[in-house]
Amino acid sequence: MRRLLLIVSLIFWSCLSHAEDKVGILEERINTPQADQGSVNNTTGIPVAGIDTVNNTSSQEDSESEAVTITGEDKLKLTTKKPSLEIKENMNDAVPSYTITEERLFSVSPPTFSIWSQDYSAVMDSKQVACPYLKKLIRDTVVTFYPQTKGEVITSWNLVITDDKGREFKRFNGTSVLPNNITWDGRSDKNKAIDVDTAYTYIFSYIDVVGTPHTIMGNPFSIDALVHQEKDGLVITLSSRILFDQSADDVQIKPEALSLMQEVIDEIKNYYGLPIEIEAYEDSVAMAKAQTEVLNNLLAERLFVRNEQIKTTTHRIKKQKPYFNVVVNNR
């Protein structure tokens, strides 16, 4: 029993001693100054600027408090780096859709091209390109005359155009007032077109106020190609001499005449799809057939048509110089 009381006493005093130690440690912590929240964080080493802290160390004697201000500078720099942007693309990805569109366009023929036998790639050849700068074909106005006097006052005047046989072909006349210029469309008084490769001459005459006649002879002139509208269609008349070398054994168009033929082709292109005919007027039927065949091949190649689409006819003439008519049936 005594041993039991002794053991209980020892345990009691031991617990009491331990409790007194705990109370002493708590008093020390209360009396020791604590670091304010604005102090430096020793773990990160980053000061927090602009925060004021107060040291609450109190003295029981004077109960005065001392304020401590801590300022700092933010030395942490934030740097960013743009991520590399890599866009992978293939330029050929868009090609298939365009290829399909082109194949569709090439597979469809416009109504005006329905009679042509070849495809568009042949049309794109430079031989089919128009040449608007060529001006060898004569249209509308064949000749422009500029009559002049010596200053006399006139009462009447006449301008007569004659053919190579001296026959009157066209006459212009007037009284008193003389025009500054007179244009001629190549038609006779009977509305016949001028012949190619034929010499024409003009005679200008007038009478002054005292009744004195005056006559001026003009120089001969001729044309090699003419475009004129007739009731049967548009006619392009060409001189055989300007196109072919009559003395050559091989029938070929002269190199210097190819530009004229190009202008003829450009004129026909204005009437795509309309019937075309070549009329040859020669004193030799065999020569006429050979020459029309050459012209047919050239027109078919440049106009993008078949040879059988161009009609050819030959006519034998004796008293006239040979020529060709390329007729477009636009009427």
pTM exceeding 0.85: no
Q: How many CB atoms are located within 10 Å of the residue 159 CB?
A: 22
Asked if residues 193 and 226 have their Cβ atoms less than 8 Å apart, the reply is yes
Measure CA 64 to chain center: 94
Domain topology for 225-328: 60s Ribosomal Protein L30; Chain: A; (3.30.1330)
Q: How far, in Å, CA of 127 to CA of 263, rounded? A: 12
Distances (CA, A) of 110 to 25, 27, 105, 121, 272: 108, 109, 10, 14, 12
Of the two residues 306 and 130, the one the predictor is more confident about is 306
Look at strands 310-316 and 276-282 and give their pairing.
Answer: parallel
pLDDT at 327: 96
Q: How far apart are CA 291 and CA 186, in angstroms?
A: 27
Give the model confidence (pLDDT) of 185-200 as tens digits.
999 999 999 999 999 9
Q: Where are the domains of the chain?
A: 143-217, 225-328
Q: Residue 201 contacts by C-beta under 8 Å, 6 or more apart in sequence?
A: 161, 162, 217, 218, 219, 220, 221
Angle at 27 between CA 24 and CA 30, to 5 degrees: 155
- Between 164 and 249, where is the model more confident? 164
CATH number belonging to the domain at 143-217, selected among 2.60.40.4070, 2.60.40.1480, 1.10.3720.10, 3.30.450.20: 2.60.40.4070
Q: What is the pLDDT of residues 11-69, one digit of tens each?
A: 766 666 655 555 455 455 544 444 444 443 444 343 433 334 444 444 444 445 567 67
- For residue 319, the model assigns a pLDDT of 73
Asked if the model's pLDDT at residue 201 lies above 80, the reply is: yes
Higher pLDDT: 320 or 317? It is 317
pLDDT at 61: 47
Contact 324, 281 (CB under 8 A): yes
